[in-house]
Each structure stands twice: as C-alpha cells, then as structure tokens.
Amino acid sequence: MGTNPDPDAELVLRIGRGDRAAAETLMRRHLPKLLTLARRMLAARAPAEAEDAVQEAFLRVWQHAGRWKPGKARFETWLYRVVLNQCYDRLRKKPMADLAAAEETPDPSPSPGAVLEAAERASTVEAALASLPERQRAALVLCHFEENTNIVAAEAMGISVEALESLLARGRRSLRTMLSALRDA
C-alpha cells in the first residue's frame, strides 16, 4: 500500500450517518486552518465574512458527507476547495457595508426641514417664472430647466440665437430682481 490513508475518512463516514461528535472533531481539526485561509482570501472584507464562508463549508460537509467517496481525493483537499469557492463567491459579490459602520453613516437624504425649504424655494421660483413675459419664460425654461442648447432653444422658438440670448438676459435679470425682493421681505 503506497498511499497514505485519509485521516478524515472515518470521521466523514460517521458524519454521513449523522454523528455530531464526529462533526465536532472534524471541525476542531480543520477550523483554524480554514479560518486563516478564508481571512486571507477575504482580507478587505468584514471579518465575519470569513467566518460565514467557513461555516457554510462545514454545513456542506454535514449535508454531503453521506455521498462522499473515500479514495478519490483527501477529504481535507475537498474541504479547502469548498472554502475557496465560498470565498470566490463572496469576492464576486458587491461588498456589503458593515452593520456597525452603517449605524454611524449619516443619512444622505435631506432633512424634512430642508425638503420643505426646497419645496418653498421651488414654489417661489415657479411663481416668479410664471410672472415673466411669455417669451422670456419660454427661453429660460428651454435652456435652464429643459437643458437645451441655445441653438436648439432658438430653433424651437423660431428666433435667432442672438434674440434668444437677449431674452435669456432680460429674463434672468427680472427673476433676480423679483427673487431678491422676496428674499429681503
């Protein structure tokens, strides 16, 4: 016999029959090495990810031990492959934020007061815009709100680019005057 017997073969067979003590022995034997492997593979991730990868590997041992065929490859080799695959799966996924860090992360959405203030400001601008002469309003809406170029806006209005620029300048000046009067009031 030139081959070394698999030191885990008997434990795996016992696990396949539902022996929890054999599973605990196998876990104690391999857990430190597998955790080290997973931590090194997932170095940039949260430490809990390495523990999850190894836990998932041992869960697979428990689920598939009854189908394991001794002699093809050492069980430890298969176990390393399962942990590596778990790590590869985690590395392919978008990183998850650590929940502890998530508590410290400020909410980027505006506060209710800021939302209300922005709505009031938008309403004020809309009212000032509505009070402008029709062509000035059209020029401002086409260029600033619809983000068209001056050429496109001029074509849409049927006027020259120079005439559009004149309307924009007068409209901005009027808006600035109205809005500064409202702000000062």
> CATH number of the domain at 9-96, please?
1.10.1740.10
Q: Which residue has the tokens 């980027």?
A: 108
Computed from CA positions of residues 50, 51, 54, 60, in that sequence, does the dihedral angle turn out positive or negative? negative
Of 67, 66, 8, 69, residue with least CA distance to 34: 8
Q: How far apart are CA 178 and CA 184, in angstroms?
A: 10
Q: Would you write out the chain's pLDDT as a tens digit for each of its 185 residues?
A: 445 688 888 888 888 888 899 889 989 998 998 888 888 888 766 778 889 989 998 888 888 777 777 777 778 878 888 888 888 888 888 665 555 555 666 667 778 888 788 888 778 888 887 788 888 888 887 888 778 889 988 888 889 999 999 999 999 999 899 888 777 76
What residue spans define the domains of the chain? 9-96, 125-184
User: Around Cβ 65, how many Cβ atoms within 10 Å?
Assistant: 21
Q: Does domain 125-184 have CATH number 1.10.10.10?
A: yes
